[in-house]
Structure 1
């Protein structure tokens, strides 16, 4: 999710705090509505809590710890737990025959022999809680540790995103300010692999209630500018691109943005490029839903994205309803862009309302020079949707009631401000169908169990 990832040790916490098959994706035609009624049951008043894989690797390598923290979560008002089983390293936390299995992280090697996800499912179900498995999709390596399939598997090295930067074309593994080694979502071999991992997961755990996909997106506006992407884009528009990548955008030699970087200047095909990328993601979402529902029709099919919709086109994602037309409001959207909204494909949607400011009126106090907005697609601004209230309202508005929406918080943003955290939780519940909390590690570190309970139950 494009949530912040933290780690087990203090050193790793500092490092990762930034923190989260069709042969042709563009040929897939999605249905306009869901085939099944929502399996979530009563969607109002649910509260979701994430259990990050790496931040909690040591803690949840012991069954008694899983049991203990699930009970504390239940007491605090949590109804649903989201267990991260495929972090950004591309490894998984369950016995897989497809993906590499994470057995060590941060210098700690798991020795207790048990299946983590099975333990979560069994213990949570005893408490009447719902269990979702979270999987990071279009990422296959951790750039801070040079770890993961794009680093370790020669067959997957060329899957990594090729980014068009002001300094030229750069493989993402060379861009060490980015912690996620994202891959190219348009590559058929990437989609085939990720779908196989998802199918294995759902088949292996028939008692699993749901999945929540994360990072079903491009790295950012700079991605992906490989020759493969160019050819697929040309196929989509029905003609060759005369000047690639200049016809998509160029970098100004004279103009600088507020952060001192060269300004991107859109080319004649920029909007169509944005449209095509949204279709790539849209088609994958629908195909993943269809594949997993074949295995378990009752599976809750969910997705996480950031809440900053006005700029989320930069990562190739349109999480709105098809009934919402962004071209009426935003200059970057074509009239056709609305066709690639995918809210209708979801049973659950959780969005990162990752802002310290809670009420819309607090937007007037935002200092753009100090805000921490390092997530993909985030920009600096003072509009009211840069608040918990405003972003939650926007999410409800543009999803058009097609899917239950759970506004989410990044707990670390409220460090030193417990009352603001409580206030934000209550706002998530008031303005959406419930609250999502990322991550339990921060609740534990801050000792905010009482605050969590107040925010989720009062």
Structure 2
């Protein structure tokens, strides 16, 4: 047999290098090719819920080993909670060294330990950042509270009582910012770029809260001017041309019904463009620093109402205007599934199988996530929402349906069934959060759900 020539050797070495990297996902941003799918079981490590627990290296090692044994392939480490503070030595964002009365002893870098120890176990590590949020309203803490130069970043919400800064809405715990503000976008990009540069061995990034607060946000004068520029005309009656509140009709939550104005659909379209453009810009900037980075995103699964937070996570090939009256013909142009290497969606429902949708009682169901309502369609189940996510992303990105552990209360078997359904109907499962698995002692159930 002849020996390979030098060019062939170079090619073989390159191919070997590509094959040897664990959990690599092929990038097809902007193309119509189907992604190479990597089966994954992802487990979230929330920043504040686990703040004290993971202030110690041996604790990180211990729980990574338990996670690996349970069938977890990927860990998502939350390093930027909703306060806007971070859990690594940033020179841009404020560093969180204390939470809930506990001060970290220090002595090691949390994310470095997670990366090193997880890699020893053959696991993949993603860092998660809460993007367009910069304060915790329950504690009056965070960037928009503590930095006077950033106070104007907070969302201005249009409520029945009038325009209200989000820091004054104490029923909301997240002090969301205005994603359309150029200074907000550039700041968040700078934080992400610093993070990727500081941790070159980090496998991936999973963006969270890349959205508006809700349908009520943002109605600042800055947003009005940018919207007017987008549509090429002045808005004569603002915000009435977007929507008003009925003085008589009530919605499912007993609140005044919104009455759409003539520019409502264009407003929805523009907000989707704001988020779409940030996603693509973030991808491009981060890939310049680390071309092998797995660029991921995390959203809610309730697509038919998720337009309320300004997000179109579908493929550009999916046209929601054919089915939904809130979508303009141009809305599909701002889908961003093609920009992602990984997408995880919260199938946050107690009901697992589609046939269980008949058991949903809209009067008692607990749905408080942004953009959720109290419907009884079968996509309000783990099975239905996972199927919908796979359908509308059109194979452009691997989809990992996720469950919220606390939602299953004491029903171990429903939890196991939900995990199995995520794996059956999508490319794997995402579990939020390890703190609930620990508190409930559901390690055996987690393993059953992820491996059986």
TM-score interval for Structure 1 and Structure 2 normalised by the shorter chain: over 0.9
Query: Does 1:369 find its partner at 2:369?
Result: no
How far apart are residue 283 of structure 1 and its match? 0.2
TM-score (norm 1): 0.92
**What do residues 162-217 of structure 1 show as CA deviations (whole Å, max 9, x unaligned)?**
00000000000000000000000000000000000000000000000000000000
Query: Does 1:33 find its partner at 2:27?
Result: no
How far apart are residue 37 of structure 1 and its match? 9.5
- Partner residue in 2 for 1:43: 38
Q: Distance in 2 between matches of 1:198 and 1:305?
A: 18
In the alignment, which of 375, 400, 404 is matched to residue 406 of structure 1? 400
Q: Distance in 2 between matches of 1:436 and 1:78?
A: 9
Q: Distance in 2 between matches of 1:37 and 1:62?
A: 42
How far apart are residue 36 of structure 1 and its match? 11
In the alignment, which of 313, 316, 328 is matched to residue 322 of structure 2? 328
What SS is found at the alignment partner of 2:392?
A: helix
Query: Does 1:199 find its partner at 2:199?
Result: no
TM-score (norm 2): 0.93
How far apart are residue 370 of structure 1 and its match? 1.5
**What do residues 17-58 of structure 1 show as CA deviations (whole Å, max 9, x unaligned)?**
xxxxxxxxxxxxxx97159996xx7512x1000000000000
- Is the Cα–Cα contact under 8 Å of residues 71 and 450 in structure 2 kept in the other structure? yes
- Partner residue in 2 for 1:420: 414
In the alignment, which of 101, 111, 124 is matched to residue 95 of structure 2? 101
Q: Distance in 2 between matches of 1:87 and 1:145?
A: 13
Q: Distance in 1 between matches of 2:373 and 2:415?
A: 23
What SS is found at the alignment partner of 2:42?
A: strand
**What do residues 124-143 of structure 1 show as CA deviations (whole Å, max 9, x unaligned)?**
00000000000000000000
Q: Distance in 1 between matches of 2:31 and 2:102?
A: 43
In the alignment, which of 220, 242, 260 is matched to residue 266 of structure 1? 260
Q: Distance in 1 between matches of 2:424 and 2:252?
A: 35
- Is the Cα–Cα contact under 8 Å of residues 34 and 345 in structure 1 kept in the other structure? no
- Partner residue in 1 for 2:143: 149
- Partner residue in 2 for 1:74: 68
What SS is found at the alignment partner of 2:362?
A: coil
Q: Distance in 2 between matches of 1:259 and 1:198?
A: 37
For structure 1, the residue ranges without an aligned partner over 5 or more in a row are: 1-30
- Partner residue in 2 for 1:125: 119
Q: Distance in 1 between matches of 2:191 and 2:366?
A: 33
How far apart are residue 372 of structure 1 and its match? 1.1
**What do residues 255-276 of structure 1 show as CA deviations (whole Å, max 9, x unaligned)?**
1123221000000000000000
**What is the count of residue pairs matched by the alignment?**
425
**What do residues 70-129 of structure 1 show as CA deviations (whole Å, max 9, x unaligned)?**
000000000000000000010000000000000000110001310000000000000000
Q: Distance in 2 between matches of 1:170 and 1:118?
A: 41
Q: Distance in 2 between matches of 1:379 and 1:303?
A: 22
In the alignment, which of 232, 236, 248 is matched to residue 242 of structure 1? 236
Q: Distance in 2 between matches of 1:378 and 1:175?
A: 18
Q: Distance in 2 between matches of 1:408 and 1:309?
A: 14
- Is the Cα–Cα contact under 8 Å of residues 321 and 331 in structure 2 kept in the other structure? yes
How far apart are residue 455 of structure 1 and its match? 0.2
Query: Does 1:134 find its partner at 2:141?
Result: no
**What do residues 399-452 of structure 1 show as CA deviations (whole Å, max 9, x unaligned)?**
000000000000000111000000000000000000000000000000000000
- Is the Cα–Cα contact under 8 Å of residues 312 and 336 in structure 2 kept in the other structure? yes
- Is the Cα–Cα contact under 8 Å of residues 37 and 398 in structure 2 kept in the other structure? no
How far apart are residue 277 of structure 1 and its match? 0.1
Q: Distance in 1 between matches of 2:29 and 2:85?
A: 34
Q: Distance in 1 between matches of 2:189 and 2:81?
A: 16
What SS is found at the alignment partner of 2:401?
A: strand
- Partner residue in 2 for 1:85: 79
Q: Distance in 2 between matches of 1:327 and 1:278?
A: 14
CA radius of gyration, larger in = 2
**What do residues 194-243 of structure 1 show as CA deviations (whole Å, max 9, x unaligned)?**
00000000000000000000000000000000000000000000000000
In the alignment, which of 205, 209, 213 is matched to residue 203 of structure 2? 209
- Is the Cα–Cα contact under 8 Å of residues 314 and 392 in structure 2 kept in the other structure? yes
Q: Distance in 2 between matches of 1:259 and 1:305?
A: 23
Distance 1:84 1:452, change over 3 A: same
Q: Distance in 2 between matches of 1:155 and 1:259?
A: 36
What SS is found at the alignment partner of 1:273?
A: helix
